[in-house]
Structure 1
């Protein structure tokens, strides 16, 4: 199963403060362990929301909202995409993670939907279309 691991923002990450060299080193070793175990599919840190935008949808209307955004504890500072056997395995891997912020914080794990999770609404035609799109993405990105 695929899971997305969401590193919640902190006041420091929202202020654009960079992690220490020691934290970069610890995270690098942790990421290497994830890669060696065949768990890590992707992972990146995100710039603070002051450099971000949101688009609000209301029917046919679209409104662009400039960052920064309030409620730091609800914002995302980075992510991993992992391939694990179970949610329990993801939790065990996350427990080994260095603290991403050098202060109290949270990291959230969410399961990624697979085609079979959508049931009958995701018709064979839609499944074929999705498979073709995924193949095209691999061709375009070399992945």
Structure 2
């Protein structure tokens, strides 16, 4: 099972305050443990929302809204993608994580990633074949 682990933003992360050397070391050690356990698929931090944009869809219309975005508690500062056997295993790994926002309250959200099987009959054989071609192309471009 794959899960996306979302690190919620804080006022500091939205202000562009970079993590301390101590936090970078602690997170590096945590990421190394994830990698050694075969859990880590990917991980990255995100720039503040002031450097981002949103595209709003309204019927056929598209509008671009530039950051910053106001609701810090709804924003993401970084993420991991993990391959684990259960949500419970993902929770146990998150409990071992250093506080991503030292000295403050922080929140990490755990969300399961859909697999092709989750879509049932709506994912036609043609759509499944297309998905497999896309994934193969993604793997090829990483080499």
Corresponding residue for 2:25? 25
3-state secondary structure, aligned to 1:17: coil
Structure 2 unaligned segments of length 5 or more: list them. Answer: none
For normalisation by structure 2, the TM-score amounts to: 0.98
- Please report how far the alpha carbon of residue 59 of structure 1 lies from its aligned counterpart in structure 2 after TM superposition: 1.1
Aligned pairs for 1:69-80 within 5 A: 69-80=69-80
- Please report how far the alpha carbon of residue 23 of structure 1 lies from its aligned counterpart in structure 2 after TM superposition: 0.4
Corresponding residue for 2:40? 40
What do residues 46-86 of structure 1 show as CA deviations (whole Å, max 9, x unaligned)? 00000000000111101000100011011000000000000
C-alpha separation between the residues in 1 aligned to 2:30 and 2:106?
Answer: 18
3-state secondary structure, aligned to 2:137: helix
Corresponding residue for 2:65? 65
Corresponding residue for 2:112? 111
Structure 1 unaligned segments of length 5 or more: list them. Answer: none
Matched positions, count? 142
3-state secondary structure, aligned to 1:22: helix
- Please report how far the alpha carbon of residue 124 of structure 1 lies from its aligned counterpart in structure 2 after TM superposition: 1.1
3-state secondary structure, aligned to 2:129: helix
What do residues 117-143 of structure 1 show as CA deviations (whole Å, max 9, x unaligned)? 00100011110110011001111122x
- Please report how far the alpha carbon of residue 19 of structure 1 lies from its aligned counterpart in structure 2 after TM superposition: 0.8
Corresponding residue for 2:127? 126
3-state secondary structure, aligned to 1:116: helix
C-alpha separation between the residues in 2 aligned to 1:17 and 1:132?
Answer: 40
C-alpha separation between the residues in 1 aligned to 2:84 and 2:64?
Answer: 36
For normalisation by structure 1, the TM-score amounts to: 0.98
